Amino acid sequence: MESTVITDNKISMQAIFSDFKQLTKVGLSLSVVFSSVAGYLLAVDVINYFTLIMLAIGGFFMVGASNAYNQIIEKDTDAIMKRTQNRPLPTGRMSVGVALTTAILFTIFGLSILYSINPKTALFGAISIFLYTSVYTPLKPVTPLSVFVGAIPGAIPFMLGWVAGTNHFGLEAGFLFMIQFFWQFPHFWAIGWLQFEEYKKAGFNMLPMKTKDKGAVKQIIFYTIIMILVSVAPVLKLSGLFYIYPITAVIIALLGGLMLFYAIKLHKSEDNVDARKLMLSSVLYITLVQIVYVVDKFLH
């Protein structure tokens, strides 16, 4: 009897832990932490491991808070879509009160930790949470322009690392911001293409001009090209202390070329298979580009 109780408790603890992971989107939060750490490593000559750990923990809380607020606001629309209907709030496994408490605590912890690094880092963290929850999320059912707003908090983490390392927002941080900002359009529109019918059910329109057609893919191609140009621009040494070797620029252009290849394929086929390949190649791009930048920096 006792072992059954222990087993039940273990299962319920696992279920609660799993729900908190879903509420705060741990996978996404970790990818954001990865971006912040890459930005920090690009900024400093001597690594302060305490600052690096604080940045990672603060960044994790910041994104976790944004995701929790987002799921509270979208509880009813999440219930409509297959992809999201099993989340803790629409299923009733977690109450809004518990989710809101988590979001508020994560905000306080996240911003306090970032403030301990320097006030500018906390300020950008606060802007990120505010834009994501108070502007991007409510705009999603209203206009496809929500993607532009959402791209701002989405682009802050890479830049946040630089600000944490230098206590300065200048040309270099601006470049890191732009790289991740322009990357988000092909990435999100590829997801918007794949989830078009599901989003439509929930009343969201994530694609430009609200239609799943060649026009939307033309926008994807356009932003992919801008993303590649901005990503290789540091080779011209116009971006302050942040510059890259020509060979690095070639590697980055090739990685971007893979995304462009799938974007052009999608334009021809208008097929979900190519949209999925574009989406996966975009994840590969942003991950590898950040690693390549850091490796390049330590070769200087």
Average pLDDT, the chain: 93
Determine the Cα–Cα distance for residues 178 and 152; give it in Å rounded to an integer.
9
What does the block give as tokens for 119?
A: 């006030």
Query: SS3 of 288, please?
Result: helix
pLDDT at residue 210 tops 80: no
For residue 33, name the pLDDT band (cuts at 50, 70, 90).
Answer: very high
Alpha carbon separation from 33 to 51, 55, 100 (Å, rounded): 13, 8, 22
pTM for this entry: 0.92
pLDDT tens track for 149-165: 999 999 999 999 999 99
Q: CA 71, CA 22: separation in Å to the nearest integer?
A: 10
CA dihedral 234, 223, 177, 28 (to 10 degrees): -120
Alpha carbons 255 and 215: distance in angstroms, whole number: 24
Environment class of 3 (CB within 10 Å of its CB; exposed 0-12, middle 13-18, buried 19+) = exposed
Decide if pLDDT at 83 tops 60. Answer: yes
Query: Which one-letter DSSP state was computed for residue 1?
Result: -
What is the reported pLDDT for 128? 96
For 232-279, write each residue's pLDDT tens digit: 999 999 888 999 999 999 999 999 999 999 999 999 999 999 999 999
One-letter amino acid for residue 154 of the chain:
G
Provide φ and ψ at 271, rounded to 5°.
-105, 140
Amino acid at 148: F
Print burial letters for 131-168: b (CB count within 10 Å at least 16), e (below 16): bbbeebbebbeeebebbbbbbbbbbbbbbbbbbbbbee
38: pLDDT confidence band, cut at 50, 70 and 90? Answer: very high
How does residue 286 score in pLDDT terms, banded at 50, 70 and 90? very high
pLDDT at residue 1 tops 80: no
> Can you tell me the distance from the alpha carbon of 134 to that of 13, in angstroms, rounded to the nearest whole number?
32
Binned at pLDDT 50, 70 and 90, residue 107 comes out as very high
Residues for the chain: how many in total?
Answer: 300
Model confidence at 201: pLDDT above 90:
no
Residue 19 CA to residue 54 CA, distance in Å, equals 25
Cα–Cα distance between 142 and 136 in angstroms, integer?
10
Give the CA angle between residues 62, 68, 70 to the nearest 5°.
105
Q: What is the pLDDT of residue 238?
A: 85
Say what the pLDDT of residue 13 is: 85
Q: Angle formed by the axes of helices 96-117 and 119-130, to 10°?
A: 150
Average pLDDT value for residue range 219-231: 97
pLDDT confidence of residue 154: 94
Residue identified by tokens 């989107």 is: 25
Looking at residue 174, its pLDDT comes to 95
Task: Provide the greatest CA pair distance for the chain.
Answer: 71
